[in-house]
Amino acid sequence: MDQAQRLREYMHRHLGQQERKTPSRMITITSGKGGVGKSNFTLNFALALQSIGKKVVVLDLDLSTANIDILMGTSSSGNSLADVLHQRKYLFDCIEKGIGGVEYIAGGLDIQELVTLDEKKLIFFMNQIHELHSYADFILLDTGAGISKVLVDFILASDETILVTTPEPTAIADSYAVMKTVLQFTNQVPKFRLVVNRARSYREAIDTSRALKNASQTFLKMSLNTLGFLMEDAHVQKAVRTQTPFYLTFPNCEASKNIKQIMYTFLPDLEVTTNTPIKGVRGFFEKMLWLGKSR
């Protein structure tokens, strides 16, 4: 991208930021184990939000199996936040536009790098990150599965967390372990919302949700709100095989209807919590930096 084109891109995005006064809301989407459909949920949830006029950016932070671009059937340029961190690229050089208008950035970023960064690079990185401050309504952080220090930091730094599980006993146990681990690092109870994926019936989905809610309330003294359920649907795997999001390819399938219901549950509930200050993008990374240096 030449200098003139970069300037045009900057002005276009800067004008969009001026129209959108509130900071981008940072939503971590995670799971206790792999294979529960977390990234697929993230992408289709983003498309649902985008379809009603919300601007969404997905940060693909699963360093081991980053696959948002694969699920969309697109190929990325290979640029990532790590390139911004080391001053190889400007932030907006790393934003890719995918299907349905959803934008995404590859992570490629080891948070420990951020902690040990020299002052000049850190200032550059934080100034670049600030460009995203009001760029989108939502920035969805698609994290790696499993429990790690980095995941805990993501959850503590974000505005809220969507926890994706399935009815499998191991997935339920690992989801509980995520919440338990996070609470070991904070005095403040993070906001978790639960999505049960691949349920074979609504009874199974409700039972899964109830088991996790009861366990978190009884043993962690933490309330867990259920955001919604996604039923087992053959259309989902068909879409994965053709590398197209099911929300666009099969808009009338049960999974698409479930995603839409989850979205409409998510947005009104969000309005109720607007009294809570939004950390935004810069606040997220500043919190990540503080957490990294304090351990």
Q: Which residue has the tokens 């920035």?
A: 139
pTM greater than 0.75: yes
pLDDT by residue for the chain (295 residues), tens only, comes to 454 455 455 445 554 544 456 788 989 999 998 899 999 999 999 999 999 999 999 988 766 555 788 888 877 788 888 888 888 898 889 899 988 889 998 877 666 676 677 778 777 887 887 778 788 999 999 987 777 777 888 888 888 999 999 999 999 999 999 999 999 988 878 889 999 999 999 999 999 999 999 999 999 999 999 999 999 999 999 999 999 999 999 999 999 999 999 999 999 766 545 456 667 776 777 776 677 666 6
pLDDT value at residue 7: 45
As a whole number of angstroms, the distance between CA 51 and CA 71 comes to 18
Give Cα 157 to chain centroid, integer Å.
Answer: 12
Smallest Cα–Cα separation from 191: which of 223, 237, 169, 148? 223
Buried b / exposed e across 38-55, counting CB within 10 Å, b at 16+? bbbbbbbbbbbbbbeeeb
